[in-house]
């Protein structure tokens, strides 16, 4: 019985060490795509353009919102002075303009979201060949997104290397 126990321990030990050695031989590295986006020239340019578009949309909506507030104030200030029919017409007009504002807001939001997704997909399409070439040149078999790693040694992080290559290519 003791010899059977020893055999199980021996088999388990051999299996554990062999699998550990095989894991060490595989070239697994990781990359932080968010960091690439925020710190590469290409990524900074994309984020800057998206930020400018977003600010433009916000300013446009603020102007419309201020106009709606003015109309609402006029209605509230004159509701005791004007006739009921005239008040009703102004309220209907206000609701119509409010609906138009909401539709415009939704449209701008959807367009911005679509543009952001398109820009990020374009970014990923542009960096993929650079990353694939780097992987081939450095015999990397697996590349994992950093946010999917619990703990990893910083020596396996190739993010800075990729940023250098990207900045050279997309100057």
Query: Where are the chain's structural domains?
Result: 2-169
Neighbouring C-alpha atoms within 13 Å toward the C-beta of 88: 3
pLDDT digits (tens, 9 = 90+) for 112-140: 999 999 999 999 999 999 999 999 999 99
Distance between CA atoms of residues 59 and 50, nearest Å:
14
> Confidence class of residue 2 from pLDDT cuts 50, 70 and 90?
low
Report residue 46 as tokens. 């994309």
pLDDT at 23 over 60: no
Reported confidence tier of residue 16, pLDDT bands at 50, 70, 90: low
Q: And the tokens for 120?
A: 């990020």
Secondary structure (3-state) at 30: strand
For 80-116, what is each residue's pLDDT tens digit?
888 888 888 888 999 999 999 999 999 999 999 999 9
Q: According to the model, what pLDDT value does residue 5 have?
A: 62
Mean pLDDT, all residues of the chain? 86
Percent of residues, the chain, with pLDDT higher than 70: 85
Q: State the DSSP code for 157.
A: B
Neighbours of 70 (CB within 10 A): 10
Please provide the DSSP assignment of 51-105 as one string.
Answer: HHHHHHHHHHHHHHHHHHHHHHHHHHHHTTTS-HHHHHHHHHHHHHHHHHHHHHH
Per-residue pLDDT band for 12 (boundaries 50, 70, 90) equals low
């Amino acid at each position: 019985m003791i010899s059977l126990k020893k055999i199980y321990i021996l088999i388990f030990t051999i299996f554990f060490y062999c699998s550990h050695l095989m894991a060490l031989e595989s070239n697994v590295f990781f990359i932080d795509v968010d960091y690439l986006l925020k710190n590469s020239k290409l990524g900074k340019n994309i984020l800057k353009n998206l930020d400018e578009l977003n600010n433009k949309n916000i300013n446009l909506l603020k102007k419309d919102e201020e106009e709606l507030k003015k109309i609402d104030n006029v209605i509230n200030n004159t509701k005791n002075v004007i006739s009921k029919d005239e008040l009703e017409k102004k309220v209907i007009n206000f609701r119509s303009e409010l609906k138009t504002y909401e539709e415009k807001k939704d449209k701008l939001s959807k367009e911005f979201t679509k543009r952001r997704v398109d820009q990020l997909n374009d970014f990923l399409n542009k960096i993929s060949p650079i990353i694939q070439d780097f992987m081939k040149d450095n015999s990397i078999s697996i590349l994992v997104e950093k946010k999917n790693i619990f703990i990893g040694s910083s020596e396996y992080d190739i993010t800075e290397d990729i940023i250098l290559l990207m900045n050279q290519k997309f100057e």
